[in-house]
Amino acid sequence: MPTRRAGSETPDDPFLFADESDDSQLGNVRGSTAPPWRVLITDDDEEVHRATAFALRGVEVDGRPLELLHAHSAIEAESVLRSVPGVAVAMLDVVMETPHAGLGLVETIRDQIGLRTLRIVLRTGQPGYAPELEVIRRYDINDYRTKSELTQTRLITTLTAAIRAYAQLESIEASNRGLADVAHSANSLFRIRSAREYARSLLERIAQMMGVTAHGVVCVEPPSTPDPIDAGLQVLHAAGRFAPLIGASLDKVGEGEMQRVVRRCLAAKTCVFDDATFAMCLGGGTRDAVAYFDVGRPITELEKRLLSLFAASLAVGFENVDLIERLDFFAFFDPLTHLPNRTRFLADVDQDLFARQGGQRCLAIADVVRFSDINDALGHRCGDTLLIAVAKRLRAAAGSGVTMARIAGDAFGLYGPEGAIDPTAIRRAFEAPFFVHGHALAVQVRLGIVRVADTKGGAVELLRNANLALNQARMAGGGAHSMFSREMSDDVQTRVSLLHSLRAAIDFRRGLSVNYQPQVNATTGELVGVEALLRWRNDYGEMVTPDRFIPLAERTGMIHELGLWVIEMALDRLAAWRRLGLDKLDLSINISPVQFRAEDFSRRVRQMIAYADVPAERLVFEITESVGLEDHDMVLGHLNELREMGVRFAVDDFGTGFSSLSQLARLPATCLKIDRSFVQSVVGDPADRAIAATIISLARNRSLGVVAEGVETEEQQQVLLDLGCEVMQGYYLARPMTVEQFDEWVKGRSAQ
């Protein structure tokens, strides 16, 4: 077909595509449904367009037909390339509206439009117009031909080579883009800390990479819980048509094909592909996880490779998210009951307080009565099971809107509206026994409750005040409950202040002193002994009574230091009195049961007796019957060692403790002291007089001495004398005195 370029004085080659080939040489495959290869024909000669279309009629390359696009100028070609995607080859005439229009279009294609994979075939009707080698070197051109060279066979061959080059470059570009997408997606997913959010983002990323709508699920093996649950995978998140499956067990959904692919994936621990669906394994750590996706079209080999690569990154990411969630769980939740722990509970309460600015809300602590006994008797496994059951019943008994947490071993925190935390309802909920590992256990809980309105401060202060109320409930016994009052807080603050002052007094020996109260034979008037009594004047000049600071010292362990200091001071004073002629004077010192818990108590006493150089026989330790209830081996060891030294023992407050007679048989006592509670009513109360008479008779029968303390009147003294008690102490005979006062008192008696 002859053609002539418009405006050209030189005729083109006489016959374009003159060398026709048989159809068998063209490799035509007709009727294909594959997407076509787009080829742009750019030439200012309409005859060239018709000839090219005729030569390429019915041609397919690698099973795909051709779609010819036509442009008659460089400007028109540029417009087509900017608006139509996926053009594989551009066949450009060099000389069109300008002598270098085709070459200029090449530069536009590469540098401005940015089509790097598009293959370019230059055609010219003027072979000598532009040097072939120079043009190919300068521009990214797939081929450079004169129109006379492009017979039909050469045209198809050139076009086929260009299309295949385009396909290879596109494959490389797609791989690079896919790798970039994989890297970007994996990097963004690594920043997620929630498994549910990770699953949602994972499905979105896969859909973006595949260029499709997200239709998929992410199934995970549930974490361990206090109660057994159905085995199998649970749908953590789902998108598209699978969205209604969120939270369901995979075994119970009606997607049989999905179940089959997921199980194959789990068994193989790798990606599994079907025609238009795939599954990738995300587990391998502490629990199994699988992502299933329905692409809705055939999956290419390149996509399979990229998805397999992506799956490796996703598996690492899921393990990281799972680890973060488990760390977060152990930081803020109780592993046994799966309730929030103390840290999370305080944070939730503070958040609610900030949001509501107070309101009619309250916080309670509930603990299990005598839980340690159950734990010790039945074992920790039984105890753990019981705690889980207690948490469930407590949760059911608490009203709606109540936040619940496990804040200690057997203690639970409750926070919510005042009316929702009802002690009566909770007590009724625990009336039925618990059946744990074959045991029927009757369990009670006690409550300490504080109203938000009664507390200044946040969650920590609320919890502290609820604990004060719980301590009050403990003293009441059983499944009692107690409401916090400001008096409780004031009492605690007073005790804390007293504790700090006592600590300072011990450290700096500030305000501490020892007074001495004489013990007199009321029949002869002879001074037979003294009792050393600890006194404390605080920094404000106030005398603190022993019944206030001694129990505090015992609870905190400070009684060890105080007791040894009293013994040391009293022995030094006894040594001084002996030098003044009071060599038959006995020295009585109260010893707390707590002091016998110190392993070196006997050794320290021996050292102090030796240092003071006084006979141990003159030292009398006043102990209570409760000493026998302490650690039996250690107590008896100290008592026997002290008795071997010569130290004697008097049982103080006899008759007021537990199992008096049985404890007396176990203690190496040499004397009984009648408690002041009996002495004070010995005159007017026949019952107390009978008790005093019994104690005196018991002492005589066991060859023990007897001392009555708290004698304040002449009548009391006379009744005790009539009952047979001679040695007494009390205000009627002499008050406790300082060393100087005692010395003056002794001198006054000598002068009579």
Angstrom CA distances, 145 to 73, 93, 136, 589, stand at 19, 10, 11, 123
- The pLDDT, as a whole number, for residue 287 is 78
User: Would you call 231 helix, strand, or coil by DSSP?
Assistant: coil
Summarised one tens digit per residue, pLDDT across range 121-168 is 888 766 555 445 666 666 778 777 777 777 888 888 889 988 888 888
380 or 287, which is more confident: 380
Q: At what angle do helices 486-508 and 459-476 cross, to 10 degrees?
A: 90
Token match 């301590």: residue?
471
Find the range with the poorest average confidence among 224-233, 294-303, 579-588, 640-649. 224-233
Note the residue count of the chain: 752
SS3 per-residue string spanning 674-742: ECHHHHHCCCCCHHHHHHHHHHHHHHHHCCCEEEEECCCCHHHHHHHHHHCCCEEECCCCCCCECHHHH
**For the chain, the helix, strand and coil percentages under 3-state DSSP, each to the nearest 5:** 50, 20, 30
Is residue 16 pLDDT above 50, yes or no?
A: no
- Provide the pLDDT confidence category of residue 13 given band limits of 50, 70 and 90: very low
Residue type, position 717, single letter: Q
Question: What would the CATH number be for the domain defined by 508-751?
Answer: 3.20.20.450
pLDDT in tens, 221-234: 876 544 444 447 88
pLDDT at site 98? 81
pLDDT digits 0-9 by tens, 495-545: 778 888 889 988 888 899 999 999 999 999 999 999 999 999 988 888 999
Instruction: For Cα atoms 403, 368, 405, give the angle at the middle one, nearest 5 degrees.
Output: 20
Residue 728 contacts residue 692 (beta carbons within 8 Å): no
- Percent of the residues in the chain that have a pLDDT greater than 70, as a whole number: 86
Summarised one tens digit per residue, pLDDT across range 579-635 is 999 999 999 999 998 899 889 999 999 999 999 999 999 999 999 877 766 567 788
What fold is seen in the domain 23-174? Answer: Rossmann fold (3.40.50)
pTM for this predicted structure? 0.53
List, edge to edge, every strand of the sheet that includes 361-368: 403-406, 411-417, 361-368, 445-451, 481-483
CA distance 76 to 42: 8
CATH 3.30.420.10 applies to domain 191-332: no
Task: Report the 10 Å Cβ neighbour count for 46.
Answer: 12
pLDDT value of position 739: 95
pLDDT digits (tens, 9 = 90+) for 401-454: 899 999 998 999 999 998 889 899 999 999 999 998 888 888 999 999 999 888
- Helix residue ranges, H only, 411-541: 423-429, 459-476, 486-508
- Which CATH code fits 342-484? 3.30.70.270
Tell me what the pLDDT averaged over the chain comes to. Answer: 84
- The pLDDT of residue 285: 62
pLDDT category at 652 given cuts 50, 70, 90 is: confident
Q: Where are the domains of the chain?
A: 23-174, 191-332, 342-484, 508-751
Residue 20 has pLDDT above 70, yes or no: no
* pLDDT at res. 167: 83
| Radius of gyration for the chain, computed over Cα atoms and rounded to the nearest angstrom | 50
